[in-house]
Amino acid sequence: MRSSNPVLTRLTPETQRGTPAQSGYGTPAGYGAPPPYESQITTAVADRMTIDDVVVKTVTLLGLVGLAGIATAALVPNEALWTAVVISGIAGLVVGLVVTFKRTISVPLIVTYAIVEGVFVGGISKVFNTIWPGIVLQAVLASFGVFAVMAALYKFRVIRATPRFTKGLLAALAGVFVLIIGNLVLSLFGINTGLRGEANDGTNWLAIGFSIVVIVIAALTFILDFDLIEKSINQGAPKQVAWLCAFGLVVGLIWLYLEILRLLSYLRGND
């Protein structure tokens, strides 16, 4: 099973082994006698990832995002805000891609991503909250509410990551990204498709509808992520993989938050 989150797709069976391979004959030269069998079992179990590891590291990264965001909103002057948003947005994209495709798990890079992305989210949030007071709190509560609902739906097996569900969701995800990128390219040439319209009086139904579709797809991707994390734990993934899992979930949460923020701005219009 592969997740829709490109970060979590790296949790393949080869990277999920918690116990290092052992030689079949004798003891490797220069290492002396092997430790007792019971000690090997205890060490192997202790080195395996647990759900608590994923939760703690996810909360840690979200805390860094939040602190960086608050600091940005409080300390960066308005005239420099968009500069900070653009620079942090590009930097976050680059660091995120490096973390995603790097063959080894780099905790410093993951922490750096959380801080840089916090600056980006904080800047965007300040702009939105200046125009629509209280919209950031609404978006934060809605984002964590959606996440909690998806976690509950997965836990009680209301929605399951079946092969058909996975294929359909991945196809929808690819379609959404093609539309978003296509709309961005057209906007550079002054063509407005209406998919990502500016805030109005709440009557831009195309933009509102598309934003709702994106939010639904973003929410459903958590089902695949939860499923892959569960399978990784059951297969004995090493503890360090929890950082990669946390990074993937934070990426999804930030995407969900920004899209909910956009939808709320549509609905509030010029209020």
Pick from 212, 214, 224, 213: nearest CA to 249: 224
Domain spans of the chain, in order of start: 47-268
Q: So what's the pLDDT on residue 34?
A: 52
Tokens describing residue 218:
């973003």
Tokens describing residue 153:
């739906």
As a whole number, mean pLDDT of residues 190-211 equals 79
Q: So what's the pLDDT on residue 3?
A: 54
As a whole number, mean pLDDT of residues 27-42 equals 46
pLDDT bin (cut points 50, 70, 90) of residue 194 is confident
Minimum mean pLDDT range among 85-94, 168-177, 190-199, 228-237: 190-199
pLDDT bin (cut points 50, 70, 90) of residue 237 is very high
d(CA 210, CA 53): 36
Q: So what's the pLDDT on residue 150?
A: 97
For the stretch 250-266, pLDDT in tens is: 999 999 999 999 999 99
Q: Where are the alpha helices (DSSP H) in the chain?
A: 37-46, 51-75, 81-101, 107-131, 135-155, 163-188, 205-234, 241-268
Minimum mean pLDDT range among 52-56, 175-179, 184-188, 193-197: 193-197
pLDDT bin (cut points 50, 70, 90) of residue 245 is very high
For the stretch 87-111, pLDDT in tens is: 999 999 999 999 999 989 999 999 9
Record the pTM.
0.84
d(CA 50, CA 29): 34
For the stretch 49-58, pLDDT in tens is: 999 999 999 9
Q: So what's the pLDDT on residue 1?
A: 47
